[in-house]
Amino acid sequence: MKKELSGMLILILFLISSGVMGQNYVQAEPRAGISATKFFLQQHMEYPPDLLAKSISGNVKVALDIDKNGNSSNYHIISSFDEKASTEAIRLVKKILWNPATMNGITIDDEAKIQVKFNARQYKRQLHNKSQISDTEVEFPVAKSGHIYKFAAANHAPKPFIASGKNIYQYINDQLKYPEQAFALNIEGDVELEFVVEENGLPSNIYVQKSVGGGCDNEAIRILQTITWIPAVANDSIVRCQTNLKISFRLGDKKQQSIPNRQGSSF
Protein backbone atom coordinates (compact mmCIF):
# COMPACT_ATOMS: atom_id res chain seq x y z
CA MET A 1 0.00 0.00 0.00
CA LYS A 2 2.84 2.35 0.91
CA LYS A 3 4.54 1.61 -2.41
CA GLU A 4 1.34 2.41 -4.30
CA LEU A 5 0.93 5.73 -2.44
CA SER A 6 4.58 6.56 -3.07
CA GLY A 7 4.13 5.84 -6.79
CA MET A 8 1.00 8.00 -6.96
CA LEU A 9 2.82 10.85 -5.18
CA ILE A 10 5.68 10.75 -7.67
CA LEU A 11 3.19 10.78 -10.56
CA ILE A 12 1.30 13.77 -9.11
CA LEU A 13 4.53 15.69 -8.55
CA PHE A 14 5.59 14.95 -12.14
CA LEU A 15 2.28 16.23 -13.50
CA ILE A 16 2.48 19.39 -11.39
CA SER A 17 6.09 19.98 -12.50
CA SER A 18 5.17 19.45 -16.15
CA GLY A 19 2.32 21.92 -15.84
CA VAL A 20 4.59 24.60 -14.37
CA MET A 21 7.16 24.05 -17.10
CA GLY A 22 4.44 24.35 -19.73
CA GLN A 23 3.25 27.63 -18.26
CA ASN A 24 6.78 29.07 -18.38
CA TYR A 25 7.27 28.25 -22.06
CA VAL A 26 6.81 31.13 -24.51
CA GLN A 27 6.94 30.21 -28.19
CA ALA A 28 8.91 32.12 -30.79
CA GLU A 29 6.93 34.85 -32.53
CA PRO A 30 7.48 37.62 -35.09
CA ARG A 31 9.15 40.69 -33.57
CA ALA A 32 6.45 42.92 -35.06
CA GLY A 33 3.63 40.89 -33.49
CA ILE A 34 0.98 38.73 -35.12
CA SER A 35 -1.32 41.46 -36.44
CA ALA A 36 1.42 43.56 -38.08
CA THR A 37 2.99 40.42 -39.55
CA LYS A 38 -0.29 39.40 -41.20
CA PHE A 39 -0.49 42.89 -42.71
CA PHE A 40 3.12 42.57 -43.89
CA LEU A 41 2.38 39.26 -45.65
CA GLN A 42 -0.58 40.83 -47.45
CA GLN A 43 1.17 44.02 -48.52
CA HIS A 44 4.49 42.51 -49.62
CA MET A 45 3.10 39.50 -51.47
CA GLU A 46 3.91 39.08 -55.16
CA TYR A 47 1.03 36.92 -56.27
CA PRO A 48 2.02 34.31 -58.89
CA PRO A 49 0.60 35.76 -62.15
CA ASP A 50 -0.99 32.56 -63.45
CA LEU A 51 -2.77 31.94 -60.14
CA LEU A 52 -3.95 35.55 -60.02
CA ALA A 53 -5.27 35.39 -63.60
CA LYS A 54 -7.35 32.36 -62.68
CA SER A 55 -8.34 33.83 -59.28
CA ILE A 56 -6.92 30.79 -57.49
CA SER A 57 -6.61 31.23 -53.72
CA GLY A 58 -5.27 29.02 -50.94
CA ASN A 59 -2.99 28.72 -47.93
CA VAL A 60 0.65 27.75 -47.54
CA LYS A 61 1.96 26.67 -44.14
CA VAL A 62 5.68 27.13 -43.55
CA ALA A 63 7.81 25.70 -40.75
CA LEU A 64 11.22 27.06 -39.74
CA ASP A 65 13.79 26.87 -36.98
CA ILE A 66 14.42 29.84 -34.67
CA ASP A 67 17.61 29.69 -32.63
CA LYS A 68 18.06 31.27 -29.21
CA ASN A 69 19.35 34.48 -30.82
CA GLY A 70 16.27 34.88 -33.01
CA ASN A 71 17.98 33.78 -36.23
CA SER A 72 15.77 31.78 -38.59
CA SER A 73 16.74 28.86 -40.86
CA ASN A 74 15.61 25.53 -42.34
CA TYR A 75 12.47 26.82 -44.05
CA HIS A 76 10.23 24.06 -45.34
CA ILE A 77 6.66 23.62 -46.51
CA ILE A 78 4.18 21.72 -44.36
CA SER A 79 1.20 22.12 -46.67
CA SER A 80 0.47 24.04 -49.86
CA PHE A 81 -1.95 24.38 -52.76
CA ASP A 82 0.60 25.32 -55.43
CA GLU A 83 4.37 25.11 -55.94
CA LYS A 84 4.75 28.75 -57.06
CA ALA A 85 2.78 29.89 -54.03
CA SER A 86 5.14 27.84 -51.85
CA THR A 87 8.15 29.65 -53.33
CA GLU A 88 6.56 33.03 -52.68
CA ALA A 89 5.54 32.06 -49.14
CA ILE A 90 9.11 31.11 -48.23
CA ARG A 91 10.43 34.34 -49.79
CA LEU A 92 8.09 36.32 -47.55
CA VAL A 93 8.75 34.33 -44.38
CA LYS A 94 12.50 34.81 -44.82
CA LYS A 95 11.97 38.57 -44.40
CA ILE A 96 10.36 38.21 -40.96
CA LEU A 97 12.44 39.04 -37.87
CA TRP A 98 11.74 36.85 -34.82
CA ASN A 99 11.83 36.91 -31.05
CA PRO A 100 13.18 33.55 -29.86
CA ALA A 101 11.23 31.11 -27.70
CA THR A 102 11.92 31.10 -23.95
CA MET A 103 11.73 28.52 -21.19
CA ASN A 104 11.63 29.91 -17.66
CA GLY A 105 12.84 33.25 -19.04
CA ILE A 106 15.84 31.76 -20.88
CA THR A 107 15.96 31.87 -24.69
CA ILE A 108 16.01 28.48 -26.39
CA ASP A 109 16.15 26.96 -29.87
CA ASP A 110 12.69 26.14 -31.19
CA GLU A 111 10.55 25.60 -34.28
CA ALA A 112 7.93 28.05 -35.52
CA LYS A 113 5.07 27.65 -37.97
CA ILE A 114 3.33 30.35 -39.94
CA GLN A 115 0.52 30.31 -42.47
CA VAL A 116 0.58 32.54 -45.55
CA LYS A 117 -2.83 33.22 -47.06
CA PHE A 118 -3.19 33.82 -50.80
CA ASN A 119 -6.44 35.64 -51.50
CA ALA A 120 -6.72 36.59 -55.19
CA ARG A 121 -9.73 38.88 -54.76
CA GLN A 122 -8.13 40.79 -51.90
CA TYR A 123 -4.84 41.10 -53.77
CA LYS A 124 -6.56 42.61 -56.82
CA ARG A 125 -8.18 45.23 -54.59
CA GLN A 126 -4.82 46.10 -53.06
CA LEU A 127 -3.26 46.76 -56.46
CA HIS A 128 -5.57 49.74 -56.95
CA ASN A 129 -4.66 51.26 -53.58
CA LYS A 130 -0.87 50.93 -53.53
CA SER A 131 1.28 54.03 -53.88
CA GLN A 132 3.78 53.30 -56.63
CA ILE A 133 7.36 54.55 -56.81
CA SER A 134 8.22 55.89 -60.23
CA ASP A 135 11.00 54.15 -62.16
CA THR A 136 13.00 57.40 -62.16
CA GLU A 137 13.30 57.14 -58.37
CA VAL A 138 14.93 53.69 -58.49
CA GLU A 139 18.08 53.53 -60.62
CA PHE A 140 19.90 50.55 -59.09
CA PRO A 141 19.47 46.77 -59.16
CA VAL A 142 18.08 44.97 -56.13
CA ALA A 143 20.64 43.25 -53.89
CA LYS A 144 20.16 39.48 -53.64
CA SER A 145 21.66 38.95 -50.19
CA GLY A 146 18.61 40.01 -48.18
CA HIS A 147 20.98 41.60 -45.64
CA ILE A 148 19.47 44.38 -43.50
CA TYR A 149 21.68 47.47 -43.43
CA LYS A 150 21.79 49.90 -40.54
CA PHE A 151 20.68 53.42 -41.40
CA ALA A 152 24.19 54.85 -41.08
CA ALA A 153 25.70 52.14 -43.29
CA ALA A 154 23.58 52.95 -46.35
CA ASN A 155 25.06 55.20 -49.04
CA HIS A 156 21.59 56.65 -49.64
CA ALA A 157 19.09 56.44 -46.78
CA PRO A 158 15.44 55.54 -47.36
CA LYS A 159 13.11 58.50 -47.90
CA PRO A 160 9.31 58.74 -47.77
CA PHE A 161 7.54 58.90 -51.11
CA ILE A 162 4.26 60.81 -50.78
CA ALA A 163 2.26 60.64 -54.03
CA SER A 164 0.33 63.84 -53.21
CA GLY A 165 3.57 65.83 -53.15
CA LYS A 166 3.20 66.75 -49.48
CA ASN A 167 6.12 66.33 -47.11
CA ILE A 168 5.96 63.67 -44.43
CA TYR A 169 5.00 66.17 -41.73
CA GLN A 170 1.97 67.39 -43.67
CA TYR A 171 0.98 63.87 -44.64
CA ILE A 172 1.00 62.52 -41.09
CA ASN A 173 -0.77 65.61 -39.76
CA ASP A 174 -3.57 64.88 -42.21
CA GLN A 175 -3.64 61.15 -41.45
CA LEU A 176 -3.39 61.09 -37.67
CA LYS A 177 -6.57 60.50 -35.68
CA TYR A 178 -6.17 60.94 -31.94
CA PRO A 179 -7.27 57.66 -30.30
CA GLU A 180 -10.47 58.01 -28.28
CA GLN A 181 -9.04 56.19 -25.27
CA ALA A 182 -5.91 58.35 -25.19
CA PHE A 183 -8.04 61.49 -25.54
CA ALA A 184 -10.39 60.43 -22.72
CA LEU A 185 -7.49 59.59 -20.39
CA ASN A 186 -5.41 62.68 -21.34
CA ILE A 187 -2.60 60.49 -22.61
CA GLU A 188 0.21 62.24 -24.45
CA GLY A 189 3.69 61.19 -25.54
CA ASP A 190 5.96 60.03 -28.33
CA VAL A 191 5.62 56.64 -30.00
CA GLU A 192 9.00 55.50 -31.32
CA LEU A 193 8.90 52.91 -34.09
CA GLU A 194 11.73 50.84 -35.50
CA PHE A 195 11.19 49.15 -38.86
CA VAL A 196 12.78 47.87 -42.04
CA VAL A 197 12.29 49.57 -45.40
CA GLU A 198 12.22 46.69 -47.87
CA GLU A 199 13.59 46.72 -51.41
CA ASN A 200 10.07 47.46 -52.71
CA GLY A 201 9.84 50.60 -50.57
CA LEU A 202 7.29 49.22 -48.09
CA PRO A 203 7.89 49.08 -44.32
CA SER A 204 8.15 45.73 -42.55
CA ASN A 205 8.98 44.28 -39.13
CA ILE A 206 7.50 47.32 -37.37
CA TYR A 207 8.49 47.28 -33.70
CA VAL A 208 7.40 49.69 -30.95
CA GLN A 209 10.58 50.86 -29.22
CA LYS A 210 8.77 53.32 -26.99
CA SER A 211 5.10 52.89 -26.15
CA VAL A 212 2.53 55.49 -25.17
CA GLY A 213 -0.59 53.36 -24.82
CA GLY A 214 -4.22 54.36 -25.09
CA GLY A 215 -4.30 53.30 -28.72
CA CYS A 216 -1.45 55.64 -29.76
CA ASP A 217 0.89 52.75 -30.62
CA ASN A 218 -1.64 51.21 -32.98
CA GLU A 219 -2.38 54.56 -34.60
CA ALA A 220 1.32 55.25 -35.18
CA ILE A 221 1.74 51.80 -36.76
CA ARG A 222 -1.35 52.32 -38.93
CA ILE A 223 0.05 55.56 -40.34
CA LEU A 224 3.49 54.08 -40.98
CA GLN A 225 1.90 51.20 -42.87
CA THR A 226 0.39 53.69 -45.34
CA ILE A 227 3.73 55.28 -46.24
CA THR A 228 5.77 54.12 -49.24
CA TRP A 229 9.51 54.81 -49.19
CA ILE A 230 12.24 55.27 -51.74
CA PRO A 231 14.45 52.33 -50.67
CA ALA A 232 18.00 52.61 -49.41
CA VAL A 233 21.05 52.12 -51.60
CA ALA A 234 24.34 50.54 -50.56
CA ASN A 235 27.19 49.45 -52.82
CA ASP A 236 25.19 50.54 -55.89
CA SER A 237 22.31 48.19 -55.05
CA ILE A 238 18.87 48.63 -53.53
CA VAL A 239 18.94 47.10 -50.05
CA ARG A 240 16.82 46.46 -46.99
CA CYS A 241 17.47 49.13 -44.38
CA GLN A 242 16.56 49.50 -40.72
CA THR A 243 15.38 52.93 -39.67
CA ASN A 244 13.02 54.55 -37.19
CA LEU A 245 10.34 57.17 -36.76
CA LYS A 246 8.96 59.10 -33.80
CA ILE A 247 5.32 60.20 -33.82
CA SER A 248 4.21 62.73 -31.19
CA PHE A 249 0.75 62.79 -29.67
CA ARG A 250 -0.12 66.15 -28.06
CA LEU A 251 -3.62 66.99 -26.87
CA GLY A 252 -2.94 70.71 -27.07
CA ASP A 253 -2.05 70.65 -30.78
CA LYS A 254 -4.70 71.40 -33.37
CA LYS A 255 -2.88 68.91 -35.56
CA GLN A 256 -0.49 66.19 -34.46
CA GLN A 257 3.13 66.37 -35.52
CA SER A 258 5.36 63.46 -36.51
CA ILE A 259 9.04 63.99 -35.89
CA PRO A 260 11.41 61.53 -37.59
CA ASN A 261 14.14 60.26 -35.27
CA ARG A 262 17.45 61.99 -36.06
CA GLN A 263 19.35 58.76 -36.02
CA GLY A 264 17.07 57.18 -38.59
CA SER A 265 16.11 60.03 -40.87
CA SER A 266 17.50 62.45 -43.41
CA PHE A 267 14.49 64.70 -43.74
How does pLDDT run along the chain (267 residues), one tens digit per residue? 544 444 433 333 333 344 444 469 999 999 999 999 999 999 999 999 999 999 999 999 999 999 999 999 999 999 999 999 999 999 999 999 999 999 999 999 999 999 999 999 999 988 766 655 544 456 789 998 999 999 989 999 999 998 777 788 888 888 999 999 999 999 999 999 999 999 999 999 999 999 999 999 999 999 999 999 999 999 999 999 999 999 989 887 544 444 444 445 433
Alpha carbon 190 to its chain's center = 20
The CA-atom distances, in angstroms, between 234 and each of 127, 137, 228 are 28, 15, 19
Report d(CA 220, CA 178) in Å as an integer: 10
> Are the CB atoms for 227 and 237 separated by under 8 Å?
no
Indicate the pTM of the whole model: 0.81
With H, G, I as helix, E, B as strand and everything else as coil, classify residue 148: strand
Do 25-129 and 135-264 fold alike per CATH? yes
Please check whether the domain covering 135-264 is classified as CATH 1.10.1060.10: no
Determine which helix (DSSP H) or strand (DSSP E) holds 251, and give its type and residue range: none
For 25-129, which CATH class?
alpha beta
Task: Give residue limits of the domains in the chain.
Answer: 25-129, 135-264
With H, G, I as helix, E, B as strand and everything else as coil, classify residue 124: helix
